[in-house]
Structure 1
């Protein structure tokens, strides 16, 4: 018997290979840059944390300011060609920075090195804003049916989680034994592998011509201005009750979960009494939970439907976050954090068929380019708000309620968990399952129903993006 070497189908497998290699390269690249800036370029400088935060700021700036407009161009252009050109641009940028990095650090002022790093990170992430919605649209063409689309999303999340388990441990040895330039060249090579994998895909169905809301297609869409098409995408999103509901669920969930990214290191060391050298196990636990959740998500969506998976995932993950906030020991905290990530990843995976069902082909780029920047902004606001609360308003909170001790950080986590539970209740009420068999209606059918009915409904069962973006 011949072993099965394909995931869902042959062309999706090729796309996945490119993503897997590129994701590991990105994980190595991101970790290496942060380490290099913190331990080499700004070593012993009091402003080193600010220099590192500049890398994260460059990433967020690209998502918030380039992402929404990028969707207009993605909807205009051929999706595969967009992905290929993006990989060329990203590979060339990293290769250029690698070439410069062969110079001694002392050859250029620190400010020039930082400017090179920030511009490279900003441009790489700006390019990613074109790549991501184009890849989303290509997957919609390559994979049909709710269960297979959920499987594809689960495989993608498991791959990304694995990359962030494998990549960072490779980064430090590469940086401190081989040098920054070799870590950068590794990432440049990963983009080349991704290019070859994408280039081998040859069975994409002919894409529908872009259309304006009134049904005008083809040349008219191309003649219309950038702002007009962007506004048309915003109008479509705003007039779709289903899409608005999805983004509200995601935003509420991000406000509940985003606190972990800012405060978990303090919770682990203060509440769980974990030594700092063990903190790496927190990331490992979440990574393992993410992999389990992603690999199981396709089957769960097949059993329960994506809508039901979404609200159940929110309820369970919120409850587990509340339980996590009450932990006082290392083992219990790690186990609950791993368990918390499983349903979280499942509902993230359920979001893919929901979005694919709600977005017709001519609007996919703009729908994704609106959805993810909004949720990214919610995550950033949650991180800032939780840090401000823990450091000021709730800094001196301490006491007992019903025999349970509450401090600042565990209180914030408990409230965050309750917010996630409330978002699950809202999802249960706003995304009700309709009677009858579930459908595997494709995005085109969903788009026709979405645009052609007053209720803005979509096929039956088709969540929430990851709390941290990788790749």
Structure 2
């Protein structure tokens, strides 16, 4: 069998780091999803049940989850480039397990603590968990860049994204019944245990996780300035950051009003939003699965930029429909290019950023979009409730109210963003076939001759590509 016939999946599973890191990520993500559903149900149906301040308590969960991205994210990006990343992964998971596990004391203490103390405890645990998650995410990006060859990274992100989509599809029907059947304790224990399992799996393999000497010797502020200069001087990073920030602002507008679109524009029951989200997750899964093949044909920059144009057009069409089945079909279709873009963008970024700067540079991909998302949700809610509440326009036979007007603006923003970043991305992104693969761990001969042969086959493919490029 020729080297070129070895599938990306077999090549990935031949890498020891992937065999442990992939299930670790799946277990951790499943635990997170169960926890996210559980903590919201716990607050709404128990701790704040029947209270006028219940919506505020539910909002507190979202704020507690968002704050670490803004406050801890930049710090995590710097330290991920300055310390041993494998230790950082394991320690971050341990901190998360302890923070979530501490919440098991709330049911045990019962009435000995007030509701205010219980809520403050939950919010603090969420802040600590998400703060540790910032360190984990930055270290994990470096692990992927160090252990997965460039030509396999999109396939790796495709498989990880597919697993996340399946969890998003199957999670709600499982998490809510689990809470009502056995209470919050079981879900909290599942999430805490998932972090411990992840730590165990991530400790089962070794990789070159030590930081570059120059980065380790820099002071914190010097390291932060170095990363800022690297981002400012990188056209691809500037284009990607701009695109993600604007698109996140646009999607934030939709997220705030999705329920109102279903009730006020489609004139259907609010609970049918769940059907829309389920088909959106299925569409995302389809886009994620097709991303590696599309990247080989079109290239990551084209997929990334064109996806925003396609999604924007889809939202414009969605804003004009009054049929729920048509809305479901459009939601499914517009999720596909979004899933493909989510899969290819991080491998594309890794090709343009030196590995020793990965933490400091990629942190902007979370901080700026998070600011945009929070701003968008706050501004949109205020505008629709005040300035735009009386909008009732008929233009060329098309009626526009406050909610669908916001959707039209969101779609136009996405289309404009895709058009604006298309050329900068295409001009600044290196071809994946020309990039040098990141260092990887030694073949795991204990896994059998098939694993070693697959890795050797992958190396032969890379060598042939280099030869063709050089000629």
Q: 1:35 and 2:38 equivalent?
A: no
Contact 1:253–1:420, Cα closer than 8 Å, also in 2:
yes
Give a deviation string over 1:343-368, Cα, whole Å, max 9, x none: 11211222112210122111111112
Q: 1:143 and 2:136 equivalent?
A: no
Q: Please state how far the C-alpha of 1:38 moved relative to its aligned partner.
A: 1.0
Contact 2:254–2:407, Cα closer than 8 Å, also in 1:
yes
* Match among 88, 96, 100 for residue 94 of structure 2: 88
Q: 1:112 and 2:117 equivalent?
A: yes
How far apart are the structure 2 equivalents of 1:386 and 1:365?
A: 32
**What secondary structure sits across from 2:400 in the alignment?**
strand
Give matches, 1:265-280, under 5 Å. 265-280=259-274
Q: 1:20 and 2:26 equivalent?
A: yes
* Match among 353, 356, 370 for residue 350 of structure 2: 356
How far apart are the structure 2 equivalents of 1:411 and 1:158?
A: 33
* Match among 131, 140, 143 for residue 136 of structure 2: 131
**What secondary structure sits across from 2:52 in the alignment?**
coil
How far apart are the structure 2 equivalents of 1:22 and 1:170?
A: 16
Give a deviation string over 1:405-457, Cα, whole Å, max 9, x none: 11111111111111100011111122235899753414779xxxxxxxxxxxx
Unaligned runs of 5+ in 2: 1-6, 440-471
Q: Please state how far the C-alpha of 1:287 moved relative to its aligned partner.
A: 0.9
How far apart are the structure 1 equivalents of 2:146 and 2:242?
A: 27
Q: 1:387 and 2:381 equivalent?
A: yes
Q: Please state how far the C-alpha of 1:25 moved relative to its aligned partner.
A: 0.7
Q: 1:157 and 2:161 equivalent?
A: yes
Q: For the structure 1 residues 89 and 230, does the alpha-carbon distance in structure 2 shift closer, same or farther, using more than 3 Å as the test?
A: same
1:414 matched residue in structure 2? 408
* Match among 294, 306, 312 for residue 288 of structure 2: 294
Number of residue equivalences = 431
Give a deviation string over 1:33-72, Cα, whole Å, max 9, x none: 0111111001111111001111110111111000011111
1:62 matched residue in structure 2? 68
Q: Please state how far the C-alpha of 1:329 moved relative to its aligned partner.
A: 1.4
Q: For the structure 1 residues 39 and 434, does the alpha-carbon distance in structure 2 shift closer, same or farther, using more than 3 Å as the test?
A: closer
Contact 1:22–1:194, Cα closer than 8 Å, also in 2:
yes
How far apart are the structure 2 equivalents of 1:209 and 1:279?
A: 48
Give a deviation string over 1:262-294, Cα, whole Å, max 9, x none: 111110121122212322112211111111111
Q: For the structure 1 residues 333 and 103, does the alpha-carbon distance in structure 2 shift closer, same or farther, using more than 3 Å as the test?
A: same
* Match among 207, 212, 233 for residue 209 of structure 1: 212
How far apart are the structure 2 equivalents of 1:296 and 1:365?
A: 28
Q: Please state how far the C-alpha of 1:13 moved relative to its aligned partner.
A: 3.1
Contact 1:399–1:406, Cα closer than 8 Å, also in 2:
yes
Contact 2:12–2:18, Cα closer than 8 Å, also in 1:
yes
1:377 matched residue in structure 2? 371
Q: Please state how far the C-alpha of 1:130 moved relative to its aligned partner.
A: 0.2
Choose 82-91 or 225-234, whichever is displaced more. Answer: 225-234
Q: Please state how far the C-alpha of 1:201 moved relative to its aligned partner.
A: 2.5
Contact 2:254–2:410, Cα closer than 8 Å, also in 1:
no
Q: For the structure 1 residues 334 and 77, does the alpha-carbon distance in structure 2 shift closer, same or farther, using more than 3 Å as the test?
A: same
1:456 matched residue in structure 2? none
* Match among 424, 432, 444 for residue 430 of structure 1: 424
1:459 matched residue in structure 2? none
TM-score, normalised on structure 2? 0.87
**What secondary structure sits across from 2:230 in the alignment?**
helix
Unaligned runs of 5+ in 1: 211-216, 446-471
1:462 matched residue in structure 2? none
Contact 2:81–2:211, Cα closer than 8 Å, also in 1:
no
Q: 1:259 and 2:265 equivalent?
A: no
2:55 matched residue in structure 1? 49
Give a deviation string over 1:85-104, Cα, whole Å, max 9, x none: 11111112211212333332
Q: Please state how far the C-alpha of 1:5 moved relative to its aligned partner.
A: 8.1
Q: For the structure 1 residues 435 and 337, does the alpha-carbon distance in structure 2 shift closer, same or farther, using more than 3 Å as the test?
A: closer
How far apart are the structure 2 equivalents of 1:417 and 1:345?
A: 17
Give a deviation string over 1:376-399, Cα, whole Å, max 9, x none: 111221222222222122111112
Contact 1:207–1:361, Cα closer than 8 Å, also in 2:
no
1:453 matched residue in structure 2? none
* Match among 198, 204, 219 for residue 225 of structure 1: 219
Contact 1:208–1:361, Cα closer than 8 Å, also in 2:
no
1:454 matched residue in structure 2? none
Contact 2:150–2:438, Cα closer than 8 Å, also in 1:
no
1:326 matched residue in structure 2? 320
Contact 2:148–2:438, Cα closer than 8 Å, also in 1:
no
1:468 matched residue in structure 2? none
Q: Please state how far the C-alpha of 1:186 moved relative to its aligned partner.
A: 0.8
Give matches, 1:154-193, under 5 Å. 154-193=158-197
Q: For the structure 1 residues 376 and 139, does the alpha-carbon distance in structure 2 shift closer, same or farther, using more than 3 Å as the test?
A: same
1:450 matched residue in structure 2? none
Contact 2:283–2:334, Cα closer than 8 Å, also in 1:
yes
How far apart are the structure 2 equivalents of 1:281 and 1:176?
A: 21
